[in-house]
Structure 1
Amino acid sequence: MIPFSDSLFKKLWLTVTAAILITVLYSYFLSYLFYEKLYVDIVEESLLEEGNRLASDYTGGAVTDELKQQVEWYNEKSESEVFLVSNPKELSACLPYSIDYETLIGKEERDQLLKGEPVLKSGFEERFGRKILAVAIPLLDNSRLEGIIYLYVPLAKISELTVDFSFLWLVGGVLFIIIAAFLGFKMLHRLTRPLAAMKQAADKVSGGDYSARVDIDSNDEIGQLAKAFNHMSESVQKEDEKKREFLADVSHELRTPISYIKGYSEAMETGMIKDPDEKNKYLKLINRESVRMVKIVEDLLDLSRLDADEYRLIKHPFPLSQHIDDFIVKYGPALKEKNIGLSLDLDPDVIINGDEGRMEQIFQNIIDNSIRYTKKGGTISIILTKHADGCKVEIADTGIGIPKEDIAKLTERFYRVNKARSRADGGTGLGLAIVDKLVKLHNGKMEIESSLGKGTSVKLYFPIVE
């Protein structure tokens, strides 16, 4: 079992939890900034409106005592502090904290006031322990600065304005994080559980237990991964079974000729056989079994190269009818020995692009089987014609035939309809497996039809050169 500290589940859960925590904190601070900005804007706008309303009572000329009294009366009623001065320098005497006049109303601010524009000032004042927001409204008479209405207000801290809101936000945020972390834990546990199951199944497969499967019903990516894993495991299991069966068949196939050779050679070596005719008979048997062993090894090497994709065809165009004519000549003695008739009907116009050596190997394996399983006095026919798929080569015999249930298995390695008879006749059980692969390498296909007691027909289809 994977330690929790190294598990994907922990990493995902910590990532999700951290993302939730960062999101909550970010939302809080963002709302904090937005709310403070909104509050400052409202206070600023309120001060400007107050100042402009007071300034609207000024009708020109020097600032009168009556207007100053009016502003003082308003100051007592207003939440903000309001002063009316004739000279900006008087502000330092009106404000309840020390101030540098040049800092408060400098040259740029004075020029701004002379243009009739209000001046906004803000800064932290230690006496109040908070930020101060101030507005200076100019009173102009023919571009002459006759006075200034000065309003200021200490800004409330955001924590003072939102103490209840902050408390609720904090409680709600903590609860949200706890609930989200719990739900994330459950969700991620459910999400990663199939991965843990696949990991355990993979360990079993790597240990040789190919029957391991993952039981997942979902159709998401993890479910598809589980299906792919099960398919892979099933394929590996089948391949392992085929490998075991193949090794068993190889050992069984080689055991028989080896035991014959060993037994006959020991009999001759110990002098048990003294009759020259018997010795010759045993020598022929030893030679026959050694030939069978060589044939099995050669076929196995061919199949190994075909399976490993190491078989390279050397293709070129050639007339298939001429190739069959030249090839079939070497079977004359074998056909004559069993009194088997041969019928050829070959279209000379058929040209294919193929490897002549491998094409001969294809026909040789099929003809060998036809001769092997056709009784004396039978016939073998080879017909080459053009076809919709290119061309068709049909090799038919009047042999013993094959049961229908065995036809589909003929291209399997070492498969025999009658194992005892095949071994006696010298077959390896690999010929048709090689034929099937070589035909496919030529972009062709093979069909086998047979009836017990009537014979077998092998049809080969190849593309042709137009």
Structure 2
Amino acid sequence: MWNKRPSLSIKIWVTIIAAIILSVLFAYSLSQYYYKNLYVKKIKTDLVNEASLLGVDYSGGEITEDFVEKVEWFNSKNDSEVFVVSNPRELSACLPFEIDYDTLISEEERQLLLAGQAVEKEGYEKRFDKNIVAAIIPLNDGDRLEGIIYTYIPVDSITDLLREFAAKWLGAAFLFLIVVIFFMTKWLKKLVKPIKEMEHAANRVSDGDYNIKLQVKSQDEIGSLAQAFNEMAQSIYLEEERKKEFLENVAHELRTPLSYVLGYTQAIKDGIVKDEEEKQKYLQLISRETQRLQKLLRDLMNLAKLDSEQSGLHSTPIAFAQFIEEVLVKYEPIMKERQIRLEVELDPDPIIMGDEGRVEQVLHNILDNAITYTETGGTIYLTLTQQKEECELIIGDTGRGIPALDLPHVMERFYRVNKARSRFDGGSGLGLSIVKKLVEQQKGKITIESEEQIGTKVSIVLPTIVDEWN
């Protein structure tokens, strides 16, 4: 069965044809309205005016031959039929005694005429055997109807005029339709062409070809759609490249510790290592590499959750200064052991809305790096300040610092600085990527400044809860 849906061009053509048909029907209905309500009404008004002007010459009494001749002369010069009727029987003056006689006016019309009102008529008139539009003006002498001026136009003449108009109108409509079809064909081809190009490009993207770019030829919605498509294709391409690079980095990171674990285990298993002290050394190496694998997998799981927005943040108000002090308590022993000085200056006012677990994870990661890469006798300092509706936490140290060329990339996934001079060597290369994601989830910003042999400064800016009483 043929289930192919109609194309966009066919839908547009159907819409245009439907619009033309509706326009024709509307025009026809409008012409009928004008004919019935305006044109015929105007004819009736004109007939009444003509008859009224002729009736001005009647001054009362019996209708004279001179008056009748004037009306007949006017009739010979006019398009409408005009005549005077003075026969009482035709004026329904003998009713109800001669009811078999075909009167020109009815009793109801006679009463209107006696009251001095004009009578308008439209339809079939048996006396003339025609469809007419007519007007009747009374010639009254006091309370006596002496006669009438009867003027009419056959409807056939109006119909002929409308037919002539309709013929010309249909000819013009047919010519208009040809012109519309000609120009619409060209316009539709131009309109549909970029859409077909997008369809072709989308098929290529679905087949894995992301290196494609559409030409933006207009500034309208189609042009915007093409631009959006280009941006989408580029984004997909970059994302695929990032995924590919990410998988390669994961494989590379896993390869080394797994090789160590497998090699050391095989050496112990094969009995190559016989000395107990050396065996313990190998076991320690296996334990170290296993821990490294665990940390790497934990970091990968964290990133996966953050990327899929499944981290499940549970935000609560946090007195930030107090929270930082509680975290620092955990680092006192190791800093004392490493003989690293700690300088703290915390503004007690900032209150942030955040997830305590995630905020603590950020602090741990940055402090771990600061302690790891600060030499014995160095200094780590923390300052917290309130800035309008934000607060800024600075964690700095006097460690080795980061080379200027590496600094812009340290928060990229798996990026590692040259280990010979690295501040972050020994890690998975994911820690700062996780920190950046977590800070952004808290609607904050993180920046890193560093200079070799001088130290590093990490700045975290977070929104705060404004105290309405201040």
Asked if Structure 1 and Structure 2 have the same fold, meaning a TM-score greater than 0.5 normalized by the shorter chain, the answer is: yes
Task: Report what 2:306 is aligned to.
Answer: 306
Q: Does 2:180 match 1:177? A: no
Residue identity opposite 2:88 in structure 1: N
Matches of 2:103 and 2:244, distance apart in 1: 96
TM-score by length of 1: 0.82
Matches of 1:287 and 1:172, distance apart in 2: 93
Residue identity opposite 2:395 in structure 1: E
Matches of 1:456 and 1:322, distance apart in 2: 21
Structure-2 change in CA distance of 1:351 and 1:132 (3 Å): closer
Matches of 1:161 and 1:323, distance apart in 2: 99
- Report the CA distance between 1:57 and its aligned residue: 4.3
- Report the CA distance between 1:433 and its aligned residue: 1.5
Q: How does 1:17-416 map to 2 (within 5 A)?
A: 17-24=17-24, 26-27=26-27, 30-31=30-31, 34=34, 40-41=40-41, 43-64=43-64, 80=81, 82-89=83-90, 104-124=104-124, 130-161=130-161, 165-309=165-309, 310-313=311-314, 315=316, 316-317=318-319, 319-320=322-323, 322-332=325-335, 336=337, 340-347=338-345, 350=348, 353=351, 357-374=357-374, 378-387=376-385, 389=387, 390-399=391-400, 401-416=401-416
Q: Residue 283 of structure 2: SS of its match in structure 1?
A: helix
Structure-2 change in CA distance of 1:18 and 1:158 (3 Å): farther
CA RMSD of aligned residues (A): 3.7
Q: Which region of structure 1 is more displaced relative to structure 2, 303-312 or 353-362?
A: 353-362
Structure-2 change in CA distance of 1:109 and 1:442 (3 Å): closer
Q: Which region of structure 1 is more displaced relative to structure 2, 107-116 or 184-193?
A: 184-193
Matches of 2:411 and 2:393, distance apart in 1: 19
Structure-2 change in CA distance of 1:46 and 1:446 (3 Å): closer
Q: Which structure 2 residue ranges, 5 or more long, are not aligned?
A: 93-98
Matches of 1:184 and 1:322, distance apart in 2: 74
Matches of 2:461 and 2:65, distance apart in 1: 120
Q: Which structure 1 residue ranges, 5 or more long, are not aligned?
A: 92-98
Q: Residue 379 of structure 1: SS of its match in structure 2?
A: coil
The answer to whether the 8 Å contact 1:139/1:146 transfers is: yes
> Residues 238-270 of structure 1: CA distance to partner in whole angstroms, max 9, x if unpaired?
122111111111121112211221222122222
Matches of 1:454 and 1:78, distance apart in 2: 113
The answer to whether the 8 Å contact 1:444/1:460 transfers is: yes
- Report the CA distance between 1:404 and its aligned residue: 0.6
> Residues 333-371 of structure 1: CA distance to partner in whole angstroms, max 9, x if unpaired?
xx74xxx43011123654654655444433432343345
> Residues 187-240 of structure 1: CA distance to partner in whole angstroms, max 9, x if unpaired?
233223222222322233233322233211322222222222222222222122
- Report the CA distance between 1:411 and its aligned residue: 0.8
> Residues 133-179 of structure 1: CA distance to partner in whole angstroms, max 9, x if unpaired?
33333222220122333334423434533565444332222111111
The answer to whether the 8 Å contact 1:120/1:134 transfers is: yes
The answer to whether the 8 Å contact 1:398/1:455 transfers is: yes
Q: Which region of structure 1 is more displaced relative to structure 2, 202-211 or 56-65?
A: 56-65
Matches of 2:373 and 2:155, distance apart in 1: 110
Q: Residue 6 of structure 1: SS of its match in structure 2?
A: coil
> Residues 387-410 of structure 1: CA distance to partner in whole angstroms, max 9, x if unpaired?
3544543331333x3211111111
Matches of 1:101 and 1:156, distance apart in 2: 28
Structure with higher helix content: 1
Task: Report what 2:430 is aligned to.
Answer: 430
Matches of 2:393 and 2:56, distance apart in 1: 110
Task: Report what 2:96 is aligned to.
Answer: none
The answer to whether the 8 Å contact 2:417/2:424 transfers is: no
Residue identity opposite 2:17 in structure 1: T
Q: Percent identity?
A: 42
> Residues 99-151 of structure 1: CA distance to partner in whole angstroms, max 9, x if unpaired?
98678522211111211223222323589775223333322222012233333
Q: Residue 402 of structure 1: SS of its match in structure 2?
A: coil
Structure-2 change in CA distance of 1:364 and 1:155 (3 Å): closer
The answer to whether the 8 Å contact 1:16/1:184 transfers is: no
Structure-2 change in CA distance of 1:161 and 1:127 (3 Å): farther
